[in-house]
Amino acid sequence: MIIVLSKTISAHDKEMVRIYLKDRGFNIREQVFGEEEIIGALGKGIVDTRELGLLPGVERIAATSKPYELASRETQSEDTIVTVGGASVSPVKIGGSRITVIAGPCAVESKEQIRETAELVRESGAVILRGGAYKPRTSPYAFQGLGVKGLEFMKEAGESLNMPIVTEIVSPELVDVMKDLTDMFQIGARNMQNFELLKKVGSIGKPVLLKRGAANTIEEWLMSAEYLLASGTKDVVLCERGIRTFETYTRNTLDISAIPVVKGLSHLPVIVDPSHAVGIRAKVSPAGLAAIAAGADGLTVEVHPKPDAALSDGPQSLYPEQFERLMRDIEALAPVVGKELLRTPLRRHPATFTPFIQRKTERTEEVEKITFCGESGAFAEQALVRVFGDDAPRLPVTSFKAVFDAVLDGSAGAGVAPVENSLAGSVHENYDLFLRYPDIAIVGEVKLRITHCLIADEKSDIESIAVVRSHPQGFAQCQDFLAKHPQWQLETFNNTAEAVASIAREGALKVAAIASEAAAKSFGLKVLKVGVETNPLNYTRFVVISRRVGDKASAPPSLGSGAPNKASLVFSVNDEPGALFTCLQILSGRGINLSKLESRPIHGRPWEYLFYVDVSLPKDADIFDTVVGELKAKAKDFHFLGTYRAAI
């Protein structure tokens, strides 16, 4: 049973609620979920809920239908996002809109081995380092781990590469020894129902990765999570690692269906361990990608520099080059499932984009906001979350120009703006704004899959709709659907989320909007039809913009830890034969790939055109500097929009 407390409850009234519950045989567990403070009444106590509801400060009682009350989505509808690290390394989040990848060897074998592995997986994009210092093995003669010394080696490697670490704990007696040497405890499959261990680990309050037992049901798994939550920790990540079935070809059978099932039952994040699930190196990557497609919030993968010489689980450990390919495949798959691969900076800096920009003023150190055009649920806000994280402070504005203004005048540290859609083409307004704001540069990009919905009031139905509102790009992307309803009057808005907000404000019953499902949820409206876009392969490319400081602009590390590999340029040419060819030949002659070329009329100069160009950067920066110099000499006008890490 969950008791939700009033936001204005006094300390005295809260204590009276505690005493009331304890006197009736309940154990109590206090916790904050989102904006609500709750008391979990656990155990087999007996209470009259009507009497309990009359106590001062009790807002409501949520009697759940599940035995796992704190882990249940009935208790908390919003997804929990677990934060790992934050003391000696940058914090890493598991859950929400990001895919988090944990990687490392099965066991720490030496200082050199864990350091080498950490460097390899970090370079490929892993953000948390895994490794076993205490290894529960089936055979008493197998390698059991290096113990505390192994933990010290792993912690040193993690801190040097700005990676939190996660390691398995096998006994309650080890909690005090390990608590200062790891950022996250792992409860292995063999110990999932070691209740004394669960209670002890939960009482520490650190994040916990809880693996499902090989022969345990989903409910038993969630009940083990309940032990951890009831004992004190609020950060639990569930890990599916395969269950034992009659099939013997693979080590275990990966229960893919458990991912959507558990995410429907619980608010806790779910990741998958494909290494233990299949136990065969060649099958790990396909199983991992299947888990991402099914909705997993991340993976934990075993990687070893020399798997054939590994002291534990060598046959299922990936070679570094296999892990590199898996990470690239995840990055390509992520937008399809509406997520982004999480990246973190290689170094921990106290004042960077981690997870968003910070600056020091004369008074204090404050967190800068990220600006976007629209209201809650806008596609631009979803792109913002992909880059800066779910808890990034946001500054919504009413126009694309206002986004640029906010970044220029310092109201926001960065902005997010759409520049191209795979169906409707370029967003010319924003390309033109770059020419009007030469102090603004592109520092990153993100690609977002766009699924449009027809949204209306709860009391409306599709037959009653007379007016449809959206952004012009929204209409352009849904032409086939709109053509089936020629009687509808179309009204344009500055952005899709604003169109949804207008219906909520007016209470209009004959008006619908084309926007995202997130916008419908934000304003309490109903989705009449999902997927009304003309082509399901509908993506929008958003750019992250920042103010230039000299010739540079700061890029958030979340956009990728590697060097920029893409640049955007704008130029015009003289009205003479071969002028454009000459400029393009400069790029071709230096081996620079052209990924986009588009012409736009120049305002106020009839029949003259600007050429918008995206290019891949060569590894040698001097080559690109030479190309820019040659283009400036040949072109009539030249504008450099920025260099950044390309989104896959």
Hey, which residues are catalytic here? 540, 542
Helical H segments across 409-488, by residue range: 428-436, 472-477, 479-483
* Cα distance between residue 615 and residue 637, in whole Å: 18
User: Nearest-CA neighbor of 544 among 333, 386, 327, 359?
Assistant: 386
Give 414's strand partners: 370
**Omega into 274 within 30° of 0, i.e. cis?**
no
Rounded (5°) CA angle 85-646-532:
95
Please, are residues 241 and 212 in contact by the beta-carbon 8 Å criterion?
yes
Q: Which secondary structure element, helix H or strand E, spans residue 41, and what is its range?
A: strand 36-42
Coil vs helix vs strand at 157: helix
Which residues are within 8 A (CB) of 361 and not within 5 positions of it... i.e. 6 or more apart?
Answer: none
Please, are residues 594 and 566 in contact by the beta-carbon 8 Å criterion?
no
Which residues are within 8 A (CB) of 104 and not within 5 positions of it... i.e. 6 or more apart?
Answer: 114, 117, 118, 121, 126, 129, 130, 131, 154, 302, 303
Distances (CA, A) of 354 to 106, 129, 236, 327, 504: 29, 19, 22, 22, 35
Written in H, E and C, the secondary structure of 217-231 is CHHHHHHHHHHHHHH
Give 394's strand partners: 370
How do 489-492 and 467-470 pair as beta strands?
parallel
Please, are residues 61 and 53 in contact by the beta-carbon 8 Å criterion?
yes
Cα distance between the two ends of the chain: 46
- What is the side-by-side strand order in the sheet with 27-33? 27-33, 36-42, 2-5, 58-62
Please, are residues 163 and 127 in contact by the beta-carbon 8 Å criterion?
yes
In 422-565, DSSP assigns E strands to: 425-426, 440-449, 453-456, 467-470, 489-492, 511-515, 526-530, 539-547
* Cα distance between residue 392 and residue 466, in whole Å: 38
Q: Which secondary structure element, helix H or strand E, spans residue 190, and what is its range?
A: none
Please, are residues 82 and 71 in contact by the beta-carbon 8 Å criterion?
no
DSSP string, 521-532: HHTT-EEEEE--
Q: Which secondary structure element, helix H or strand E, spans residue 307, and what is its range?
A: none
DSSP 91: -
| Phi and psi torsions of 240, nearest 5° | -85, 125
User: Nearest-CA neighbor of 468 among 487, 440, 444, 489?
Assistant: 489
* Cα distance between residue 574 and residue 60, in whole Å: 72
Tokens at 130, concatenated = 């895994």
* Cα distance between residue 144 and residue 645, in whole Å: 42
Give 615's strand partners: 567, 594
